[in-house]
Amino acid sequence: MNPKELDMSQQQREQVDQMMRGAPLDIGGEPGELRRLFEQMMTSQPLSDDVQATPGELGDVPMLTITIDGAPADRTHLWFHGGWYVIGSSRTSAGLSADLARRGAARAVSIDYRLAPEHPYPAALQDAQAAYKALLGSGVDPATVAFVGESAGGGLATATMASLGDLGLPQPSCAVLFSPWTDLTLSGASMTEKVGIDPAFVPDKVQVRANDYVAGADPADPAISPLFADLRGLPPMLIQAGSNEILLDDSTRLAARAAAQDVAVILDVTPGVPHVFQSFAAVLEEGDLALDRVTEFLWARTGAAARP
């Protein structure tokens, strides 16, 4: 970027930061109210005219299939939405799912795994496993599937991959993780160092949601906190995060562990931007550029030959 572009980018980052600081979402609040507010915020903009979102089921798990008019659907992003295992849905992520589907000439299959506190661990993991198994059972080649997860969904995607060996299921071609929540013990240094810098989240509120999901189990259980999982055999992973998030170390430490355990891993950190900043790609240059890099990664792993 040249200096003028940098100025604009700085302005965009400040706007996103202010918007997040001003959002009415108390992430530690009552789940029902929180879900309604989050749904309202994230679906206030209609999807683009070229997007088709079709509800369905996959292995008894509700899901939304998102396709782009005129785009082929022979490659699949199995999508794990964010929301701290308590809020969010395939609809709250549909904007980002559609954006990446369009860039990658793929369809997104976004699953509505069961949420805590009504359905704590292992409900979400079981739903993710069942959905992937059903996807493969429908004849989809795992080489054409990428797991994509945001925040809690990024942790869930990772925990699911780490469980596939025991289930006798093949790995997907690759995984894209946006600001994954991989450590429900909240032990990262960024969990203290980035307080106040993170415009949206503080540890004690995140702890409330961790408690909802963990529900008395061991938060360091690798199936809950895949940062502590055996990652050997996992497919290539692209992990993106912003430097303005208390979850930053959930990404940097996952990357370091994956590298040590012989996983092909790319960690890609953008400074000055918040948690899952790619959601703001339409108004934030850094988000747009980050999704360009995701697209390159996906093309290289799920069939560059098919590239239009």
User: Hey, which residues are catalytic here?
Assistant: 151, 245, 275
Closest separation in Å from C-beta 8 to a second copy:
16
Residue 73's alpha-carbon distances to 44, 136, 292, in angstroms, are 27, 15, 19
Q: H or E segment at 147?
A: strand 145-150
Pull the structure tokens for residue 171.
Answer: 């790995």
Closest separation in Å from C-beta 284 to a second copy:
14
The smaller minimum CB distance to a second copy, of residues 271 and 308, is found at 271
Cβ(159)–Cβ(125) below 8 Å? yes
Position 189 contacts a second copy (CB under 8 A)? yes
DSSP class per residue in 195-241: TTTSSS--HHHHHHHHHHHHTTS-TT-TTT-GGGS--TTPPPEEEEE
- Residue 27, number of CB atoms within 10 A of its CB: 18
Closest separation in Å from C-beta 253 to a second copy:
7
The interface with a second copy within residues 123-182 (CB under 8 A) comprises 143
Position 196 contacts a second copy (CB under 8 A)? no
Residue choice 63, 148, 265, 276 for contact with a second copy (CB under 8 A): 265
Position 291 contacts a second copy (CB under 8 A)? no
Range list of H helices, 2-137: 3-22, 31-42, 94-104, 123-137
The smaller minimum CB distance to a second copy, of residues 115 and 298, is found at 298
Closest separation in Å from C-beta 227 to a second copy:
13
**Within 13 A of 149's CA, how many CA atoms are on the CB side?**
31
Closest separation in Å from C-beta 263 to a second copy:
6
Tokens 């396709």 -> residue: 67
Position 259 contacts a second copy (CB under 8 A)? yes
At 47, give phi and psi (nearest 5°): -65, 155
Which range in 13-21, 82-90, 128-136, 266-274 contacts a second copy by CB under 8 A? 266-274
Q: Please calculate the CA angle 50-44-15 and round it to the nearest 5 degrees.
A: 105
Residue 94's alpha-carbon distances to 39, 40, 109, 175, 214, in angstroms, are 11, 13, 10, 18, 27
- Distance separating alpha carbons of residues 296 and 202, to the nearest angstrom: 33
Which range in 21-29, 163-171, 178-186, 254-262 contacts a second copy by CB under 8 A? 254-262
Position 272 contacts a second copy (CB under 8 A)? yes
Position 289 contacts a second copy (CB under 8 A)? yes
Closest separation in Å from C-beta 241 to a second copy:
7
Position 9 contacts a second copy (CB under 8 A)? no
Position 39 contacts a second copy (CB under 8 A)? no
Contact residues toward a second copy (CB under 8 A) are: 2, 143, 189-190, 193, 241, 243, 248-249, 251-253, 255-256, 258-272, 289, 296, 300
